[in-house]
Structure 1
Amino acid sequence: MDFELSAGQRKLYDDIRDQVADRFGTSAAKAGPEAARAAFTTAAGTGVAALCLPPEVGGGGLGALDTALGLEAFGRACPDTGLTFAVAAHLLACAVPIRDFAAAPARDRLLRGLATGALVAANAMTEDGAGSDIGAIAATARQDGDDYVIDGEKSWASNAPIADVMVTYAVTNPRAGFLGVSAFAVPRKLPGVVVGEPLDKLGLTGCLAGRVRFDGARVPREYLLGTEGQGAAIFQHSMAWERACLFAIYVGLMDRQLEMCVAHAGQRRQFGRRIGEFQAVSHRIAGMKQRLESARLLLYRACWLLDRGGDHVEAAALSKVAVSEAAVANSLDAFQIFGSAGYLNGGGIAEQLRDCLPSTLFSGTTEIQRELLVRGVGL
């Protein structure tokens, strides 16, 4: 068992980290669609939007572990975690199912745009009555000639306000339960696709999210992903990649955060001493390091299993819980170490805490992951 990264993997990490650091020196303020789109395009120019896409469409052709390393480097160097999340969701929840299930020629046309950032994708699955429970989806799609007519509303779609294509899920056979759900890659320009205003969120402000309504949207059959009734399986496939790889952006964030805390504890003085000399502070930092490295190893293992085609469901659930809970706990510790300075916007610590909080919700809540884990142990 070799825990050492190869020279190629180290170069991948370093190249992305350096490119991102050059382009994103400071966190962006809460951005409107135009600024968010510009930031996304700039990020895509580093290759992070194409890591695991096929080389023939401009992608990096990487597996899950190397994709995670690239996203970790992105999260390490970019102070705008909302932007890193926007790109990772675009790649893993949208481009991956298009890569693996779309039919030619739509597949290659879409992937070429997604790889460069010329096209931005949004994952429109969540509804007011359906989140973790994909079987409760109310949106419908009926076949009409060579088209599908989609009706329904999605309550939350990250990237939607700037997206060009929506990966969405709708019921094509109400009598078949989860086997009656189908997946589509819907171009935004089609009549009947209506995107709402950006939602006012607590954090991840660099990733705009909005509601999406399909009002009799006629979607050509070429945009069906897989076959009718395969939507639930396609969604789980994309979630496997998302749960294994996306949380690498938080490993990168925790690396940067730990460095900030060590520097602050070495400079800030109270009672005539550097605060890092007090065990109340130094032991917090030790705990942050322990959580970070434990989460990193579980994430790498989940990606390694995904690459090998092994049973990765439990490993991804373990990784997702470990990384998200570590990110929240470490951000609370960083907040305590920085004190009142950490409560100020613009210094990074307050933003990190806000941006880490939703990590326990998206890609399947912590509670859903624990359900997967208890099933795995036989309960």
Structure 2
Amino acid sequence: MIRWNADQAELREGLARWGEALSAGHIEQDEQATFSWDKWKLIRETGILALPFEERWGGLGQSLLTTMYLLEGLGEHCRDSGLSFSVTTTMASTGVPLEKFGTEAQKERYLTRICSGEVIGAHAITEAEGGSDAMAMTTRAVRDGDRFVLNGSKIFVSNGPVADVFVVYARTHPDGGPLGVTAFLVDRDTPGLTIGPPTKKMGLRTSPLSELFFDECRVPRTQVLGRVGGGFLVLDHVMKREILFSFIVNVGEMRHRLDRCLDYAKTRRSFGRPIGSYQSVANKIVDMRIRLETAAKWLYDTGERLAAGENVTVDLAIAKLVTSESNVATSLMAVQLFGGHGYMTEYGLEKDVRNAVAGTIYSGTTEIQYNRIASMLGLGT
């Protein structure tokens, strides 16, 4: 069990004070599926985007675990899950690979502005035909002198409609396998890049999503992130942090949900008794607590191992699977516990269900995580 020190606790308490402002109007904004620029300004003021990055680039120089602890606090106090998702997407998709693989010039140009929140980031990986099979990508990048020419398309690009810079993964060698993919930094206004309109979706509606289209999109060689052919090294580094950052937010959301349900079970009366006195209700709340603590332990333990340089392939898959499935399960329990009120949009609980489902799909579906764990157990074909 991690014991957080006074400085870490103070940082989290400081973030908690922003909760009310970050949550304001979250139900209405979800209904309208709008990204709030006013809330993004508040996010910039919190400094949360700068947490894991070096101070020389405008970051706060915090450890992986401290960053996770603060992001859990964001989930606990911010009811706008889409906003939280846009935060972790910017941090993980763009800031993380820039710090690890970026040149000095790239960090000066982009990472400083990621830390300040002046720039919103996104990454473009998934394609319509490939789905979870990133190896099947067909978007091409062909060398032409000091530039690469990109052609193809990407789908499910979170932050797409509002992002200033994209980390785009494209095939630079048709037969190169894992070594045939390269990561590129592509600015929003690059000729040949077309950003599709926001796509309507089930949940996380305040975090806009779109397609990207590349038609003879010419990107300077200096915009290669890492080395040519090293795209999967970049992606592997990113996905580890993306899972930890995104799903520790879900732990915070589950923590808030548990507190809300516990309070309701103690105060709501039925047939002359608090509903929490009925075993069927009490069991649901106990189950919520168990799922919450199990998810938190898997994520923080995995973060510790990753920070220590250990192989966390299986740990990440288990942590992601446990957390995403627990988030769905506890959100459904909350709706059931609140009964008719839980089914109404004004309580925000049905929104939690819709948001939670997304976690079983992005960053590798539940089925992919099962396959990965089975493979590491020697069960793969």
Aligned amino acid, residue 16 of structure 1: L
Count of aligned residue pairs for this structure pair:
378
Match of 1:95 in 2: 95
Q: Does 1:221 align with 2:221?
A: yes
What is the alpha-carbon distance in structure 2 between the residues aligned to residue 57 and residue 238 of structure 1? 19
Mean alpha-carbon deviation: is it higher for 154-163 or for 90-99?
Answer: 90-99
In structure 1, give the amino acid aligned to 2:258.
L
Correspondence for 2:335: 335
Shift of 1:107: 2.0
| Secondary structure at the counterpart of residue 5 of structure 1 | coil
Q: Render the CA deviation track for 1:196-243: whole Å, top value 9, x for unaligned.
A: 110001110110000011111111112101111101111111001112
Q: Determine if the alignment matches structure 1 residue 4 to structure 2 residue 3.
A: yes
Amino acid at match of 2:206: G
Q: Which runs of 5+ in 1 are unaligned?
A: none
Normalising by the residue count of structure 1, what TM-score does the alignment of the two structures yield?
0.96
Contact 2:178 2:232 in 1 (8 A): yes
Gaps of 5+ in 2: none
Please name the residue that 1:114 is paired with.
114
> Residue 206 of structure 1 corresponds to which residue in structure 2?
206
Give the corresponding residue for 2:13: 14
Once residues 131 and 315 of structure 1 are traced to their aligned partners in structure 2, the CA distance between those partners, rounded to angstroms, is 23
SS of residue paired to 1:203:
coil
1:245: Cα distance to partner?
2.5
Mapped contact 1:30–1:205 kept (Cα < 8 A):
yes
Q: 1:194·1:213 contact (CA, 8 Å) conserved in 2?
A: yes
Q: Please, what is the CA RMSD of the aligned residues?
A: 1.6
Q: TM-score, normalised by structure 2?
A: 0.95
Q: Whole-Å Cα distance in 2 between the matches of residues 372 and 33 of structure 1?
A: 34
- Counterpart CA distance in 1 for 2:47 and 2:273 is 45
Equivalent residue number for residue 45 of structure 1: 45
Between 42-51 and 231-240, the greater mean CA deviation after superposition:
42-51
Deviation at 1:146, TM superposition (A): 1.4
**Do the aligned residues in 2 keep the contact of 1:302 with 1:316 (CA within 8 Å)?**
yes
Contact 1:268 / 1:274 at 8 angstroms: preserved in 2? yes
Compute the displacement of 1:327 (Å): 0.4
1:27 aligned partner, one-letter code = H
3-state DSSP class of the match of 1:119? coil
SS in 1 for 2:59: coil
SS of the residue 2:345 aligns to:
coil
The secondary structure found in structure 1 opposite 2:175 is: helix
CA drift of 1:131 comes to: 2.6
1:35: how far off? 4.4
Q: Paired residue for 1:75?
A: 75
Q: Alpha-carbon deviations, 1:143-181, whole Å to 9, x = none? A: 112111111110110000001001110000001122100
The one-letter amino acid paired with 1:308 is: A
| Matching residue's letter, 2:147 | D
Partner Cα distance (1:330, 1:294) in 2: 13
Cα offset for 1:109? 1.2
Matches within 5 A, 1:1-379: 3-27=2-26, 29-30=29-30, 35-379=35-379
CA contact (8 A) 1:245 1:303 kept: no
Q: Deviations over 1:31-54 (max 9, x none)?
A: 879843332232132122222122
Cα offsets for 1:302-327 (capped at 9, x unmatched): 11111111112211111111111110
Which amino acid is 2:377 matched to? V
**Residues 22 and 79 in structure 2, CA contact (< 8 A), matched pair in contact too:** no
Residue aligned with 1:360, SS: coil
Relative distance call for 1:342 and 1:315 in structure 2 (3 A) is: same
Q: Supply the distance in 1 between the matched residues of 2:32 and 2:288 (Cα, whole angstroms).
A: 34
Letter in 2 for 1:5: W
In 2, Cα distance between the equivalents of 1:305 and 1:341? 42
* Contact map agreement 2:120 2:165 (CA 8 A) in 1: yes
C-alpha separation in 1, matches of 2:173 and 2:61: 35
SS of structure 1 residue aligned to 2:184: strand
Q: Structure 1 residues 36 and 13 mapped into 2: Cα distance closer, same or farther (>3 Å)? A: same
What is the aligned-residue identity percentage?
35
